[in-house]
């Protein structure tokens, strides 16, 4: 009988997946493998020696522990904010505000936290990491929460559950897919957090990421760095596999609702959640305001300096040109990441629905996440030893910056989009098919509108991540196309009051650009398909 | 005419549907009736093209193998509606018309017409989230009917609703199907619903169709013990056992509907082991001497309590012959 | 237009783009570190005069730069490199990154700083890492020597960078090694620790956040920075608010060299000559906060007052630094517990 089945066929899905996987192979797997191989170049002895050292495993332990602690704090702080975004009317500004920390250069945030907690140390590292990542939790979880049918909660309440019980027994399980996604992303960000750890932890609290940097850049110890890169890679794969197993079968069909139906003024105990959410937002905003205030320390001198190239020409571009560069590069990176991320998500959802072994789907899914968990230093140096084999010698090309940023942004797009796409009831698609919609039309009429909000949200989020990306960008960018974070990093590293004021003014400018972009997306969301 | 022959669907090693044949003439309604898990929904989905199977599904003699879901022109109504949450009522109903490229004016007119038909005139701009369960099913029905499907497939269309609403909507649904002259295949586990909606009923069990016939025929002559039990016979026994009521011995198997035995001055005695209140009578379970456990009815007034000794009389109208009498199958073929 | 970039890049990856160079390409790629800067007018004059286009490619600090050169030595990413300093020079030379070229300009001063006799690296500029002080915050009682810094008078006033994570931090450690010798430097650091020295991970934090003489107005009036830093902290009266202690300096020398396997070696040599020429050397203080390696180049006015070149800074042979740095850092860590 009919071999034509619902929707896309697995073969087509695999063809889809080939594009992002190919990108990943060329711009991630190959360079990383090349660097690790170089480390083994002088024989495996050097690598084995590093692996045999107790200090290496203490590094692994501390890296994972600080990442886990940071993730826990980010999740706990992010949940009430997600509640605000999902359930409380008039939270558009909150949605924009939580994005701002993400673009701040780590050196600036690190200095701010050092001023707050002068002794630095583990607590400061964990708090600073969480500060950056609350937005990931709030937006990812909030995006799904907004669509979770309120009536299941009401039903639990009617069955005698307290608000808290209703939350833990009904709402929380429904949010698990998004929570899992967000936690995985945050964990990877924290495990590879570099600037903050170096600044707040110094040489005392070192992670794999900072140690790889120091071994590579300060000690030129390539075998050591290769060994640690290998350990980092395996640790990340290990954590991702555990996460994938935990997530398995949790991304169930949910009864999704339009947000207009789920938003209302908080009642009773919900005020506590809303209050906590607002408290977290205030905590996020305080350092931001401090930075803005600081940028005015010398009057408007810092802002006037943005039109120039810093004290005695510290920069090769003006602050305003850097802002334009940032916007251009982030646009390219986001568009590329959207194409790759949507293709990957569609492929993963289609494969997940077909009778392909779940292991295959999870493997593809995990592979896409890896770039978040591997040191930018490793990837950056990897480019140098591989990309000259491609036509056009991309090693010195300006196009490398958006490509490298897209590597980081794509997994974020996938993580935001997948839970929503997976939670669309298959029968909704089937209903559309029986009404005459072909496979593509089904995607357009059902999946795109239902996931459109998440798509826009992930685009905005990815854009902001690209705007704020520092590690890979500072390594690859050319001075005449420097982005704002790179410029800020340079200004802070120079003496002179004007440079300092300009750095803080540039921070404010960067935050301003972020807010404008985020507001634009908010508007799009309201006007477009985004009623849902 | 929809004709299904030799249709089987397997999930791995499990046969969900085995070698099913049936036909649905134009304008008629066939109900697939069976307990949950009997494969009737899978069969429906295979007809729609949502499941892969072997065998053939033909429309007017043309085999639909290789025709994907969206080109079959078969409408489908799910148990829980599956309305598009991002579209309003009119947007849902108009969906199939948009897919078919129907001009806007015609589309609007058709949407209005169908909403009137299902009793939801004036609800066009409502958000689907604001609808009650019954309204949702009406919208789902209108949505499926709008593009004038060749066959309408209904998968337990009423079972998510409460009883009063279900009964009322069943009447409405029967009317809509009749008025629109729609050829339809209804999956249900409720024989009342099947008999209300359908011209003919196909009883399914364990992936196979056991009996096809008009509601009257199926009701009056269940083909085997299981079918009789599914249709409400509390006991199926050899007719000879009814001799305890003093009747002349009969041959074959018979099913006893609850109304077959009544509390009254009769030759069989027993003890009441359970009682259930029904709308206009009390249903008793009686451990009867010589018969074993049987159902019986009593009037609401002075119904015996559990533990009471009662006597039972036989009402021949509640006794159903079980097994396929030859004349039934001949008549059934004649209809086809 | 910009949106096309990723697509074009993908096309390149897919092999659709045809690589190939113009027959007479006189572009010289100058691989350098983040701090490289040049006066545009001076560069324009050079390019106009020679027909050479200089394309700077900056990445990271001196360590990252050296690493890049080592990793890409088989197929170098440029023609000439500038910015490898004396703490990394041995490594780059051992790896055979640079080709031999003795510039005619090298005899006019740079030769003083030569790493070895091979002529593969030529000094372009020198910078000194020195202790900086904020005299106002110290009430005029300014320390002068390494020894003064261990004086209880300056308890809890000194902030240094961790030599494991910071290049000025490493330079200051090397300075103490050069001054006190292999036997005495650890003991000196023990006394600094007892005197409340604070260790932070990077220059940014030490200078802009901890140091009282910068715009951050931090709590500590003594910091490890550069000899040139005071010239950036000039008050309304035109006088420097901070000062460098010229007896505590360690000299960092930045070198340039033509890369082995350069695509355009002849023009690369001309660019190296340009880096040593008087017009370029003159801009070095203003643009990169370092002193010219060439002799007889006039310093800007602000520098002569605020940042005179230390006369007898400490130095260590590049080969010693390469061989011992890791051990010194580890020993330092066990002493100070950074």
C275-305 confidence digits (pLDDT tens): 999 999 999 988 888 889 999 888 888 777 7
Q: Do C13 and A492 touch (CB under 8 A)?
A: no
Q: Do C17 and A391 touch (CB under 8 A)?
A: yes
Q: Do A479 and C58 touch (CB under 8 A)?
A: yes
**Are C110 and C67 part of one and the same domain?**
yes
Residue B149: closest C-alpha in chain A: A435
**Bridge partners (DSSP) listed for residue B154:** B77, B186
**Are C115 and C139 part of one and the same domain?**
no
Query: What CATH number is associated with residue C170?
Result: 3.40.190.10
CATH numeric code, A10-263+337-400+409-455:
1.10.3720.10
Q: Do B129 and A428 touch (CB under 8 A)?
A: no
User: Which pairing describes strands B319-322 and B253-256: parallel, antiparallel, or unpaired?
Assistant: antiparallel
**Sequence-ordered list of residues with C-beta below 8 angstroms from that of B330, at least 6 positions apart, any chain:** none
pLDDT number for residue A524? 67
**Are C159 and C241 part of one and the same domain?**
yes
Instruction: Give chain B positions within 8 Å (CB) of A529.
Output: 86
Q: Give the sign of the dihedral formed by CA A244, CA A250, CA A256, CA A259.
A: negative
**Are C270 and C123 part of one and the same domain?**
yes
Tokens matching residue B245: 């009521």
Q: Do C13 and A336 touch (CB under 8 A)?
A: no
> Which residues, numbered 336 to 375 in chain A, qualify as contacts with chain C under a Cβ-Cβ cut-off of 8 Å?
336, 339
* Region of residue A517 (left: phi > 0; alpha: psi -120 to 50; beta: else): alpha
Partners for B (CB, 8 Å, 3+ pairs)? A
Report d(CA A500, CA B115) in Å as an integer.
68
Instruction: Give chain C positions within 8 Å (CB) of A388.
Output: 72, 75, 77
- Residue of A32, A210, A218, A494 to mutate, testing the C interface (most C Cβ within 10 Å of its Cβ): A218
**Sequence-ordered list of residues with C-beta below 8 angstroms from that of C268, at least 6 positions apart, any chain:** C28, C79, C80, C258, C259, C262
Map residue B23 onto helix, strand or coil: strand
Short-list A515, A517, A523, CA closest to A97 = A515
Report d(CA B7, CA B1) in Å as an integer.
16
More confident residue, A386 or C309: A386
- Residue of C6, C15, C70, C324 to mutate, testing the A interface (most A Cβ within 10 Å of its Cβ): C6
Short-list A346, A306, A218, A245, CA closest to A503 = A306
Residue C223 above 90 pLDDT?
yes
Residue C65 above 90 pLDDT?
no
pLDDT number for residue A531? 31
**Are C186 and C316 part of one and the same domain?**
yes
**Sequence-ordered list of residues with C-beta below 8 angstroms from that of A242, at least 6 positions apart, any chain:** none
For A449, the closest of B70, B78, B86 (CB atoms) is B86
Report d(CA A72, CA A49) in Å as an integer.
34
Render pLDDT for A152-168 as a digit per residue (tens, 0 to 9). 777 777 777 777 787 88
**Bridge partners (DSSP) listed for residue A273:** none
Are A and B neighbours with ≥3 CB pairs closer than 8 A? yes
Radius of gyration from C-alpha coordinates of chain A: 23
Q: Do A203 and C34 touch (CB under 8 A)?
A: no
More confident residue, C80 or A368: C80
Residue A300 above 50 pLDDT?
yes
* Residue C289 belongs to some domain of the structure: yes
Report d(CA A497, CA C229) in Å as an integer.
11
Return per-residue pLDDT of chain B as tens, 336 residues.
899 999 999 887 888 899 999 999 998 999 999 988 888 889 998 999 888 888 999 999 899 888 888 888 898 998 888 888 888 899 999 999 999 889 999 999 999 999 988 888 888 888 887 888 888 989 999 999 998 999 999 998 888 777 778 888 888 888 888 888 889 999 998 888 888 889 999 999 888 998 999 988 888 889 888 889 888 888 888 888 888 887 766 778 888 888 888 888 888 889 999 988 887 888 889 988 888 888 888 888 778 888 888 888 888 888 888 886 544 443 343 333
Supply the DSSP symbol for C107: G
pLDDT number for residue A247? 64
Residue C229: closest C-alpha in chain A: A495
Instruction: Give chain A positions within 8 Å (CB) of B91.
Output: none
**Domain spans of chain A, in order of start:** 10-263+337-400+409-455
pLDDT number for residue A65? 94
Judged by a CB distance cut-off of 8 A, whether residue A399 touches chain C is yes
The whole-angstrom distance between C59's CA and the closest CA on chain A is 5
Q: How far is CA A480 from the centre of its chain?
A: 27
Report d(CA B320, CA A173) in Å as an integer.
51
Short-list A340, A361, A356, A348, CA closest to A422 = A348
Q: Which fold has domain B235-322?
A: OB fold (Dihydrolipoamide Acetyltransferase, E2P) (2.40.50)
Residue C59 above 90 pLDDT?
no
Partners for A (CB, 8 Å, 3+ pairs)? B, C
* Region of residue B63 (left: phi > 0; alpha: psi -120 to 50; beta: else): beta
Residue A111: closest C-alpha in chain C: C205
pLDDT number for residue A270? 77
Cβ A244 vs Cβ A358: under 8 Å = no
Q: Do C203 and A493 touch (CB under 8 A)?
A: yes
pLDDT number for residue C22? 43
**Are C190 and C219 part of one and the same domain?**
yes
Report d(CA A72, CA A66) in Å as an integer.
10
Render pLDDT for A195-227 as a digit per residue (tens, 0 to 9). 888 888 876 788 888 888 888 877 778 888 888
Residue A93 above 90 pLDDT?
no
More confident residue, A38 or B92: B92
Q: Do C19 and A26 touch (CB under 8 A)?
A: no
Instruction: Give chain A positions within 8 Å (CB) of B85.
Output: 256-258, 450, 532
Number of domains in chain C: 2
pLDDT number for residue C44? 92
CA distances from B166 to A361, B18, C152 (A): 42, 31, 92
Short-list B91, B49, B94, CA closest to B74 = B49
Judged by a CB distance cut-off of 8 A, whether residue A215 touches chain C is no
Report d(CA C47, CA C213) in Å as an integer.
41
Report d(CA C127, CA C108) in Å as an integer.
18
> How many helices (DSSP H) and strands (DSSP E) are in chain B?
9, 17
**Domain spans of chain B, in order of start:** 2-222, 235-322
Instruction: Give chain C positions within 8 Å (CB) of A335.
Output: 3, 6
Q: Do A331 and C3 touch (CB under 8 A)?
A: yes
For B85, the closest of A3, A257, A427 (CB atoms) is A257
The whole-angstrom distance between A445's CA and the closest CA on chain B is 9
Q: Do B85 and A6 touch (CB under 8 A)?
A: no
Q: Do A478 and C57 touch (CB under 8 A)?
A: yes
Judged by a CB distance cut-off of 8 A, whether residue A304 touches chain B is no
Confidence of residue A9 (pLDDT cuts 50, 70, 90): low
pLDDT number for residue B253? 87
User: Which pairing describes strands B200-205 and B208-213: parallel, antiparallel, or unpaired?
Assistant: antiparallel
Question: Which DSSP string do the residues of C187-200 spell out, in sequence order?
Answer: HHHHHHHHTT-EEE
Render pLDDT for A410-460 as a digit per residue (tens, 0 to 9). 988 887 788 778 778 888 888 999 888 888 888 888 888 888 777 887 788
| Domain residue limits at C293 | 25-127+252-305
Confidence of residue A350 (pLDDT cuts 50, 70, 90): confident
Judged by a CB distance cut-off of 8 A, whether residue A491 touches chain C is no
Cβ B308 vs Cβ B270: under 8 Å = no
Instruction: Give chain A positions within 8 Å (CB) of C60.
Output: 217, 474-475
Report d(CA C42, CA C279) in Å as an integer.
7
**Are C319 and C186 part of one and the same domain?**
yes
For C209, the closest of A26, A114, A204 (CB atoms) is A114
Burial classification of residue A55, based on how many CB atoms lie within 10 Å of its CB (0-12 exposed, 13-18 middle, 19 or more buried): exposed
CATH numeric code, B2-222:
3.40.50.300
**Are C87 and C170 part of one and the same domain?**
no
Residue B66: closest C-alpha in chain A: A2
Report d(CA C207, CA A497) in Å as an integer.
11
Judged by a CB distance cut-off of 8 A, whether residue A432 touches chain B is yes
- Residue of A203, A214, A477, A486 to mutate, testing the C interface (most C Cβ within 10 Å of its Cβ): A203
Q: Do A218 and C63 touch (CB under 8 A)?
A: yes
- Interval A360-387 mean pLDDT: 84
Q: What is the mean pLDDT of chain A?
A: 81
For C13, the closest of A200, A313, A390 (CB atoms) is A390
CA distances from C102 to C117, C119, C122, C259 (A): 10, 5, 8, 13
Q: Do A396 and C91 touch (CB under 8 A)?
A: no
Q: Do A450 and B85 touch (CB under 8 A)?
A: yes
Cβ B71 vs Cβ A8: under 8 Å = no
pLDDT number for residue A312? 63
């Amino acid at each position: 009988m009919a071999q034509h089945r619902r929707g896309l066929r697995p073969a087509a899905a695999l063809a889809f997946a080939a594009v992002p996987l190919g990108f990943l192979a060329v711009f991630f797997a190959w360079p990383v493998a090349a660097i690790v191989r170089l480390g083994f170049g002088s024989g495996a002895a050097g690598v084995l020696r590093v692996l045999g050292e107790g200090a290496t495993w203490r590094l692994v332990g501390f890296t994972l522990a600080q990442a886990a602690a940071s993730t826990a704090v980010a999740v706990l702080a992010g949940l009430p904010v997600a509640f605000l975004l999902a359930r409380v009317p008039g939270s558009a500004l909150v949605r924009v505000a939580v994005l701002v920390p993400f673009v701040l250069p780590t050196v600036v945030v690190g200095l701010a936290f050092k001023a707050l907690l002068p002794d630095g140390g583990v607590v400061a590292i964990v708090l600073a990491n969480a500060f950056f990542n609350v937005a990931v939790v709030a937006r990812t979880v909030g995006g799904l929460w907004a669509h979770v049918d309120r009536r299941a909660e009401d039903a639990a309440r009617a069955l005698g559950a307290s608000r808290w019980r209703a939350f833990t027994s009904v709402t929380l399980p429904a949010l698990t897919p998004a929570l899992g996604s967000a936690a995985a992303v945050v964990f990877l960000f924290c495990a590879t957090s570099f600037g903050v750890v170096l600044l707040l932890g110094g040489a005392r609290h070192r992670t794999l990421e900072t140690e790889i940097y120091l071994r590579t850049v300060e000690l030129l110890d390539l075998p050591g760095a290769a060994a640690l890169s290998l350990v980092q890679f395996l640790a990340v794969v290990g954590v991702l596999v555990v996460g994938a197993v935990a997530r398995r079968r949790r991304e169930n069909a949910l009864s999704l609702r339009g947000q207009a139906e789920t938003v209302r003024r908080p009642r009773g105990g919900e005020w506590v959640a809303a209050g906590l959410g607002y408290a977290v937002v205030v905590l996020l905003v305080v350092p931001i305001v401090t930075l803005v205030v600081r940028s005015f320390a010398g009057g408007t001198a810092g802002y006037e300096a943005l039109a120039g190239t810093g004290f005695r020409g510290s920069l090769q571009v003006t602050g305003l040109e850097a802002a334009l560069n940032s916007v251009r590069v982030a646009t390219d990176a986001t568009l590329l990441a959207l194409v790759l991320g949507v293709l990957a998500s569609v492929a993963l959802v289609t494969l997940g629905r077909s009778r392909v072994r779940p292991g295959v789907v999870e493997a593809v899914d995990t592979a896409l996440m890896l770039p978040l968990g591997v040191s930018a230093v490793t990837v950056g140096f990897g480019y140098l030893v591989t990309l000259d084999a491609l036509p056009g010698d991309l090693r010195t090309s300006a196009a490398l910056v958006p490509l490298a940023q897209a590597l980081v942004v794509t997994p974020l797009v996938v993580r935001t989009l997948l839970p929503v796409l997976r939670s669309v009831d298959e029968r909704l698609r089937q209903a559309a098919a029986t009404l005459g919609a072909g496979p593509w039309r089904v995607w357009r009429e059902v999946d795109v509108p239902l996931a459109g909000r998440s798509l826009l949200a992930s685009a905005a989020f990815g854009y902001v991540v690209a705007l704020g990306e520092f590690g890979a960008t500072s390594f690859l960018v050319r001075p005449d196309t420097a982005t704002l974070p790179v410029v800020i990093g340079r200004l802070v590293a120079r003496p002179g009051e004007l440079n300092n004021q300009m750095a803080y003014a540039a921070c404010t400018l960067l935050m301003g650009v972020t807010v404008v972009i985020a507001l634009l997306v908010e508007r799009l969301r309201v006007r477009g398909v985004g009623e849902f | 005419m929809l004709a299904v022959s030799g249709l089987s669907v397997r999930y791995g090693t499990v046969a969900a549907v085995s070698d099913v044949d049936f036909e649905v003439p134009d304008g008629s309604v066939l109900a697939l009736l069976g307990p949950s898990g009997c494969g009737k929904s899978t069969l429906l989905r295979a007809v729609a093209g949502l499941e892969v199977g072997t065998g053939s599904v033909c429309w007017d003699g043309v085999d639909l193998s290789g025709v994907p879901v969206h080109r079959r022109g078969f409408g489908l109504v799910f148990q829980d509606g599956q309305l598009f949450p991002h579209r309003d009522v009119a947007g849902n109903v108009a969906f199939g018309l948009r897919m078919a490229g129907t001009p806007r004016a015609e589309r609007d007119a058709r949407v209005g017409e169908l909403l009137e038909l299902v009793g939801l005139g004036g609800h066009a701009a409502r958000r689907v989230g604001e609808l009650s369960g019954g309204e949702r099913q009406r919208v789902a029905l209108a949505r499926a009917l709008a593009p004038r499907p060749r066959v309408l497939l209904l998968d337990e269309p009423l079972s998510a609703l409460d009883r009063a609403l279900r009964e009322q909507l069943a009447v409405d649904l029967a009317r809509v199907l009749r008025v629109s002259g729609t050829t339809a295949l209804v999956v249900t586990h409720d024989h009342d619903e099947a008999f209300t909606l359908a011209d003919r009923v196909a009883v399914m069990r364990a992936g196979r169709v056991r009996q096809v016939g008009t509601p009257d025929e199926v009701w009056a002559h269940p083909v085997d013990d299981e079918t009789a039990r599914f249709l409400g016979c509390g006991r199926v026994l050899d007719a000879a056992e009814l001799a305890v009521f003093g009747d002349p011995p009969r041959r074959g198997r018979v099913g006893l509907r609850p109304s077959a035995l009544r509390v009254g001055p009769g030759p069989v005695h027993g003890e009441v082991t359970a009682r259930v209140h029904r709308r206009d009578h009390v249903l008793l379970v009686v451990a009867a001497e010589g018969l074993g456990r049987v159902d019986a009815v009593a009037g609401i007034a002075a119904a015996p309590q559990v533990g009471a000794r009662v006597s039972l009389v036989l009402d021949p109208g509640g006794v159903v012959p079980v097994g396929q009498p030859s004349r039934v199958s001949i008549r059934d073929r004649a209809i086809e | 237009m910009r949106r096309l970039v990723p697509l074009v890049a993908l096309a390149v990856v897919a092999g659709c783009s045809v690589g190939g160079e113009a027959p007479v390409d006189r572009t010289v790629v100058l691989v350098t570190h983040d701090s490289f800067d040049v006066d545009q007018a001076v560069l324009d004059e050079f390019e106009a005069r020679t027909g050479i286009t200089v394309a700077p490619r900056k990445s990271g600090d001196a360590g990252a730069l050296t690493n890049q050169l080592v990793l890409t030595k088989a197929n170098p990413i440029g023609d000439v490199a500038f910015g490898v300093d004396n703490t990394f020079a041995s490594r780059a030379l051992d790896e055979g990154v640079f080709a031999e070229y003795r510039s005619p300009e090298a005899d006019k001063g740079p030769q003083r700083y030569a790493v070895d006799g091979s002529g593969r690296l030529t000094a372009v500029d020198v910078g000194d890492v020195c202790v900086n002080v904020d005299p106002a915050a110290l009430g005029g009682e300014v320390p002068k020597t390494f020894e003064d810094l261990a004086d209880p008078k300056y308890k809890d006033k000194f902030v240094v960078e961790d030599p494991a994570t910071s290049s000025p931090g490493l330079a200051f450690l090397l300075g103490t090694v050069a001054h006190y010798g292999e036997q005495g430097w650890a003991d000196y650091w023990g006394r600094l620790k007892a005197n409340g020295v604070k260790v932070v991970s990077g220059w940014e934090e030490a200078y802009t956040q901890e140091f009282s003489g910068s715009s951050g107005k931090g709590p500590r009036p003594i910091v490890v920075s550069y000899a040139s830093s005071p010239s950036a902290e000039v008050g309304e009266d035109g006088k420097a608010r901070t000062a460098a202690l010229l007896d505590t300096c360690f000299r960092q020398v930045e070198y340039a060299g033509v890369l082995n396997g350069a695509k355009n070696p002849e023009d690369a040599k001309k660019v190296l000559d340009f880096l040593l020429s008087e017009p370029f050397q003159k801009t070095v203080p203003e643009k990169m906060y370092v002193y010219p390696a060439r002799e007889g180049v006039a310093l800007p006015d602000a520098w002569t007052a605020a940042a005179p070149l230390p006369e007898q800074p400490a130095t260590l042979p590049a080969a010693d630094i390469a061989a011992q740095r890791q051990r010194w850092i580890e020993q330092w860590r066990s002493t100070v517990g950074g």
